[in-house]
Amino acid sequence: MKLYHGSTYRVKHPVISKGRTSTDFGKGFYTTINFEQAKKWALSKKNRDKGSSAFVTIYEVKDDLISQSKLFAAPDVEWLRFVVNCRKEVRHTHDIIMGPVANDKIYTTIELFESGILSEEETIARLKVSEHFNQVSFHSDIAIKELKYVKSEEVTE
């Protein structure tokens, strides 16, 4: 299976320690199965950081490795609780997690959920997720060693 990572530089040797902590699945190295999504992330980072370049780095990973990982097929109650905990920096023990990416309104929506204004079902309904927007995150040194660098491509808008 091919995985893609968007950044402002070529990432031949990914490391977990550079990841942010309060993300959907916690601190880790994030990839996607969708090239266009990785390109969008790379260009967004370039624009935010006022950088000069954007790259999509391509990796190969064994299909069975992903199938043995923690999988969220859709934004359901289990996914919501997991994302809320990870954004609160509650640690988990999963090496690899695959699941949907919530849209930009996640912060407001989760705040409404945590304050009791929204139910779990209402919260999930508001977190509109595109079927093409997914993430595969790596959370251990053992798992990240399974990513085999293929190449990096510079991308433009």
* 36 burial level (CB within 10 Å; 0-12, 13-18, 19+): middle
At residue 73, the pLDDT reads 87
For the cut 70, the answer to whether the pLDDT of residue 2 exceeds it is yes
Write phi, then psi, for 28 (nearest 5 degrees): 180, -175
Sort strands 70-71 and 55-60 into parallel, antiparallel or unpaired.
Answer: unpaired
For the cut 90, the answer to whether the pLDDT of residue 76 exceeds it is no
d(CA 61, CA 66) in angstroms, rounded, equals: 8
The mean pLDDT value for 33-61 works out to 94
Percentage with pLDDT > 90 across the chain: 54
Encode pLDDT of 127-140 as tens digits.
Answer: 766 555 889 999 99
Q: Is the model more confident about 86 or about 56?
A: 56
Q: How far is CA 140 from the centre of its chain?
A: 15
Classify 87 as helix, strand or coil: helix
At residue 121, the pLDDT reads 83
Average pLDDT score over the chain: 88
Buried b (16+ CB within 10 A) or exposed e, 120-133: eeebbebbebeeeb
| DSSP run (H or E) holding 117 | none
At residue 110, the pLDDT reads 77
- Say how many C-beta atoms besides its own lie within 10 A of residue 104's C-beta: 7
At residue 37, the pLDDT reads 92
d(CA 72, CA 121) in angstroms, rounded, equals: 16
Q: For the chain, what is the domain count? A: 1
For the cut 80, the answer to whether the pLDDT of residue 104 exceeds it is no
Residue 23: which domain range?
2-154
* pLDDT category of residue 23 using cuts at 50, 70 and 90: confident
Give Cα separations from 120 to 22, 76, 110, 117 (angstroms). 20, 9, 10, 10
